Amino acid sequence: MRVKIYAGLHVVWGRLVTPVTTYATRLRLWLNGVEGADALRVRGWVNLHIHHQAAVRIGRDGRWKSGFADNPAGGYRRLGIWVARNGQLTIGNNVGMSNATIMCAESVTIEDDVFIGGGVNIYDTDFHSIDPEARLARPDKTVRTGAITIGRRTFIGAHSIILKGVTIGECAVVGAGAVVTKDIPDNEMGWKSSETN
């Protein structure tokens, strides 16, 4: 009996928290000058950092989940979006994300109907130079970046890492845990970087 009561309370809690976190995330996006996001639904608190000179657009009917209770496949972390000065982030219509992290220093484009699984990392930057002298300089001016595009109706499996300069074609599938360093053509499956073209 108590299990049923607990399960019922969990459902009620989800129905209460989703409108609050949806409204809070929409408000924060609007305050950051983000276009769209009117029909965005968010369950759980989202980490956001958007530079005032960045350009961010979010399409209709997005579904974001953030936190272990909302998608345990993503682990114990929140969904996070970080967009640098002059970064351009575009998220299309009907995009679902769970506990993902997007780091956009240059350009990240996620087209319509994409599913991004739990704990996925999308990085269009190396963060630091591979040259130790440049890396130790302040600031490190030799960091490499490269635009990322994820095509329509693609599925990115849990805990994958999408690295700079990658284009993933339409209707592609990236297997769970993949590290994608090269392009994946339309309708193909990538499991690890050595199997992508």
- Predicted pLDDT at 64: 95
What CA–CA distances, in Å, run from 40 to 11, 36, 59, 65, 88?
Answer: 20, 8, 8, 11, 19
Q: What is the pLDDT of residue 190?
A: 74
pLDDT at 194: 44
pLDDT reported for residue 141 = 74
The confidence score (pLDDT) of residue 65 equals 93
Place of tokens 């272990």: 68
Q: What is the CATH number of the domain that holds 146?
A: 2.160.10.10
187-196 confidence digits (pLDDT tens): 988 765 544 4
pTM for the whole thing? 0.86
Taking only the tens place, the pLDDT of each residue in 132-175 is 777 777 777 778 899 999 999 999 999 999 999 999 999 999 99
**Domain, as residue range, for 69:** 2-195
Q: What is the C-alpha separation between 70 and 92, in angstroms, rounded?
A: 22
- The number of folded domains in the chain is 1
| Average pLDDT along the chain, 197 residues, taken 10 residues at a time | 62 74 93 87 94 95 86 80 96 96 97 96 89 74 90 96 96 95 90 49
